[in-house]
Amino acid sequence: MSNNKLILVVDDDEISLEMIASVLLSEGYHIATATSAKEAMDFVEQNRSLISAILMDLVMPEYSGVVAIKSIKEQRMSRLIPIMALTSSSDRESVISAIEAGADDYLTKPFNPADLLSRVYVLCKISDFVKRWDAFAR
């Protein structure tokens, strides 16, 4: 079970957004959604302490997911939030650009729901550890 973890799901495709949210909600995760990179960056800015992980589509209008990942990871207060690139782009260049921007994991669509859940579980464990470590270090 998720222990009420908040996952930000970012995708401009409503069907993908609904599928991802449905899988996560079925396991008890709390979901916030954004349909653009800009909307995601604004949400992170205002809610960073509540977010356990971010699932980011890479191909979106206006700003790409890579731009959003890089922006989030450059901010001192949000750089440790685990981000998984979740996209239909599986070419080597897309993977490399997402990882170089700061993505912590990468999963291609269509995805196996069990794969998604196991990866989100790991990202949340990392997030929990980082938050405990940060509190300890203060």
Kindly list the domain boundaries of the chain, sorted by start residue.
6-137
Per-residue pLDDT, 138: 65
30-34 and 105-108 strand pairing: unpaired
Per-residue pLDDT, 90: 77
Per-residue pLDDT, 28: 95
pLDDT values of the chain reduced to their tens digit, one per residue, 138 residues: 557 899 999 999 999 999 999 999 999 999 999 999 999 999 999 999 999 999 999 998 889 999 999 999 999 889 999 999 998 877 889 889 999 999 999 999 999 999 999 999 999 999 988 878 766 666
First to last CA, the chain: 29
Per-residue pLDDT, 41: 96
Beta strands in 51-134 (DSSP E): 51-56, 83-87, 105-108
Per-residue pLDDT, 18: 95
Domain 6-137 has CATH 3.40.50.2300: yes
pTM to 2 decimal places: 0.93
- What would the two tokens of residue 93 be? 């260049």
Q: Residue 34: which H helix or E strand, with range? A: strand 30-34
